[in-house]
Amino acid sequence: MKNFFLSRLLQASIVAVVVGAVCFALMRALPGDAAMRIAAGRYGPDARIADAAEKVRLELGLDRPIAAQFLEWIGSLLRLDLGHSLVTGRAVAHELQVQLGASVWLAATALLISLLIGPLVGLISGLKPGGAADRSGLAGAVVFRAIPPFVLGLILMLIFSRQLGWLPPAGFGSPREILLPALTLALGLAAMSSRVTRNAVAAVARAPYFAFARYKGLPEAVVVRRHGLRNAAIPVVSYLGLQAIYLVEGVVVVESLFAYPGIGHALVHAIVERDVPMVQGTALVMGLMFVAINATIDLLTFWLDPRTRRTA
């Protein structure tokens, strides 16, 4: 148990250091003199800008060696002091709060929809391997996995907003706007989880304890519920950890596509505008979101599978 938390904590700090280091390098790679830029931002570009820049350089320690500046950069990152956006001038932390909420809603909705589709399809396929349901489930999974998320999003947009006119193609505010981006992510996630579920269910259905439950006369529904679901859920839940990658990456893509004002959208914008503090803030939060999802999945596996408790 402690090991789980320690390794996730380690992962979180690696995320912070990697993001911080890349953004520090990014800041230095920006053209021009940093002190001059900051001075111009603070006092406006006027005749005495060179003096002002010199003062800023001394004040912020921009004349110190790179290593010292780097340590301070990482230090302020670890104190969660994310600085101010170069574009809007507002505190990065403040902007992130709003966007994080939107992204978490999107990710949660997507995960929920995928959990409604994927495991159900997988369960039906796995109970009769090789049957009609299994074959069409396989075909569906192969097709949906080969469509990149942005193409899938466009197709859904064309069907549901253009042809049928049921859902808005973009925007934010009501639950209606969250549906299409969430469905895009959910279909991709379900395409993968349905096959994992199918294999897990098929493995459980072949297991001796499953046959025994039948022989002792339990009704089929009880056999599946009591002896099937929890055992089959173990690989499915641990597979969710890998799906977290798809989810976090997908959030970036789908938010940009549907103009959904979440963190992924902000990250892409910040990259285009070269707003380094925002790049750092958004990348950090998305990375930590990834770690948090993984930690939750660790906990779930721990609860589902008592065997992990003995070894941990």
Partner 1 sequence: MSTIDHISYVQPKSGIGAARLTGAGLLVLLGGFATIGPVVIPVDPSAQDFGASLAPVGSDYLLGTDHYGRSLLARLAHGARLSFGMAFLTTLAAAMPGVLLGLLAAWRGGWAEKGLELMATVVLALPGLMLVLLLLAFSPGDYGPLFLGLALTLWVEFYRVTKATTKTVLSQPHIEAARMLGFGSRYILTRYVLPVIGPMIATLAAFAMATAIIAVSTLSAISVGLQPPTPELGSMIVELLPYFAEAPVQVLLPAGLIFLLVLGLQLLAQGERA
Residue ranges in 94-123 that form contacts with partner 1 under rule CB under 8 A: none
From 221, 236, 207, select the one nearest 117 (Cα to Cα): 236
Span from 38-46, 59-67, 110-118, 144-152 in contact with partner 1 (CB under 8 A): 144-152
**222 belongs to the binding site for partner 1 (CB under 8 A):** no
Query: Is residue 187 a contact point for partner 1 (CB under 8 A)?
Result: no
Q: Report helix, strand and coil shares of the chain as percent, to nearest 5.
A: 80, 0, 20
Interaction of residue 196 with partner 1, rule CB under 8 A: yes
Distance of CA 150 to the CA centre of its chain: 16
* Residue 87 touches partner 1, criterion: CB under 8 A: no
Q: Which is nearer to partner 1, 267 or 297 (CB)?
A: 267
Based on the shown chain and the rule CB under 8 A, indicate whether residue 151 belongs to the binding site for partner 1. yes
**Is the Cβ of residue 53 or residue 123 nearer to partner 1 in the bound state?**
123
Report the alpha-carbon distance of residue 196 to residue 297 in Å, rounded.
16
The verdict on 203 binding partner 1 (CB under 8 A) reads no
Judged by CB under 8 A, the chain residues 265 through 304 that form the site for partner 1 are 267-268, 270-272, 274, 276, 279, 283, 286-287, 290-291
Q: Based on the shown chain and the rule CB under 8 A, indicate whether residue 149 belongs to the binding site for partner 1.
A: yes
Residues 6+ apart with CB under 8 A from 114: 185, 186, 187, 188, 189, 190, 193, 243
| Closer residue to partner 1, CB minimum distance, 182 or 244 | 244
| Count helices and strands in the chain by DSSP H and E runs | 14, 0
Cβ distance to partner 1 smaller for residue 105 or 150? 150
Under rule CB under 8 A, residue 18 binds partner 1: yes
Decide if residue 148 touches partner 1 (CB under 8 A): yes
Amino acid at 279: V
Note whether 239 binds partner 1 by CB under 8 A: yes
Q: Does 199 bind partner 1 (CB under 8 A)?
A: yes
* Phi, then psi, of 198 in degrees rounded to 5: -60, -45
* Positive or negative torsion for Cα 71, 74, 80, 84: positive
Dihedral of CA 95/98/101/105: which sign? negative
8 Å CB contact between 257 and 152: no
What is the closest distance, in whole angstroms, from the C-beta atom of residue 79 to partner 1 in the complex?
20
Tell me the β-bridge partners of 84: 91
Applying CB under 8 A, does 19 fall inside the site for partner 1?
Answer: yes
Q: Is 56 in the site for partner 1 (CB under 8 A)?
A: no
> CA of 103: how far to CAs of 93, 114, 132, 248, in Å?
15, 16, 37, 10
Q: Which of 68, 116, 120, 142 binds partner 1 (CB under 8 A)?
A: 142
Cα 297 to Cα 198, 242, 244, 262, 290, distances in angstroms: 20, 10, 9, 23, 11
Query: Which position has the token pair 């990065």?
Result: 92
**Residue in 4, 11, 70, 167 binding partner 1, rule: CB under 8 A:** 11
User: CB of residue 33 vs partner 1: minimum separation in angstroms?
Assistant: 19
Size of the site for partner 1 (CB under 8 A): 54
The four Cα atoms 232, 182, 13, 25 give a dihedral, to 10 degrees, of 140
The footprint of partner 1 (CB under 8 A) covers 11, 14-15, 18-19, 22-23, 25-26, 29, 138, 141-143, 145-151, 154-155, 158, 162, 192, 195-196, 199, 239, 242-246, 248-249, 252-253, 256-257, 267-268, 270-272, 274, 276, 279, 283, 286-287, 290-291
